Amino acid sequence: MSKGKFIVLEGIDGSGTTTQAAKLAQYFAQKEGYHLFLTKEPTGFETGKEIKRRLKEDKAAGINPFQEKGEEYLKLYVKDRKFHVQELILPCLNQGVHVVSDRYKYSTFAYQGAQGQDLNKIISMHEGLLVPDLVLLLDLPAETALERRKKDKTIPELFEQLNFQKKVRENYLALPYILPQENILMVDASLNLEEVHKQILAHVERLFQ
| 158 CB-near residues (< 8 Å, 6+ apart) | 59, 64, 65, 66
Model confidence at 1: pLDDT above 80: no
* Band of residue 58 on the pLDDT scale cut at 50, 70, 90: confident
Query: For residue 96, is it left (φ>0), alpha (ψ between -120 and 50) or beta?
Result: left
Instruction: Count other C-beta atoms under 10 Å from residue 13's C-beta.
Output: 20
Instruction: Count other C-beta atoms under 10 Å from residue 190's C-beta.
Output: 15
pLDDT average, residue stretch 20-24: 97
pLDDT at 127: 95
Query: For residue 48, is it left (φ>0), alpha (ψ between -120 and 50) or beta?
Result: alpha
Model confidence at 159: pLDDT above 80: no
The angle that helices 193-207 and 17-29 make with each other, rounded to 10 degrees, is 60
pLDDT average, residue stretch 6-16: 96
pLDDT at 113: 92
pLDDT at 162: 85
pLDDT at 181: 95
| 15 CB-near residues (< 8 Å, 6+ apart) | 138, 139, 140, 145, 189
Burial of 83-116, coded b for 16+ CB within 10 Å and e otherwise, reads ebbeebbbebbeeebbbbbbbbbbbbbbbbbbbe
Euclidean distance between CA atoms 122 and 112, whole angstroms: 8
* Band of residue 146 on the pLDDT scale cut at 50, 70, 90: confident
* Band of residue 47 on the pLDDT scale cut at 50, 70, 90: very high
pTM of the predicted protein model? 0.93
**What is the percentage of the chain residues whose pLDDT exceeds 90?**
77
pLDDT average, residue stretch 140-159: 75
C-alpha distances out from residue 4 to 7, 98, 107, 165, Å: 10, 4, 23, 33
Euclidean distance between CA atoms 203 and 208, whole angstroms: 9
Q: Which domains does the chain have, with CATH numbers?
A: 6-207 (3.40.50.300)
pLDDT average, residue stretch 171-199: 97
Q: What is the pLDDT of residues 72-95, one digit of tens each?
A: 999 999 999 999 999 999 999 999
pLDDT at 27: 93
**What is the percentage of the chain residues whose pLDDT exceeds 70?**
95
* Band of residue 59 on the pLDDT scale cut at 50, 70, 90: confident
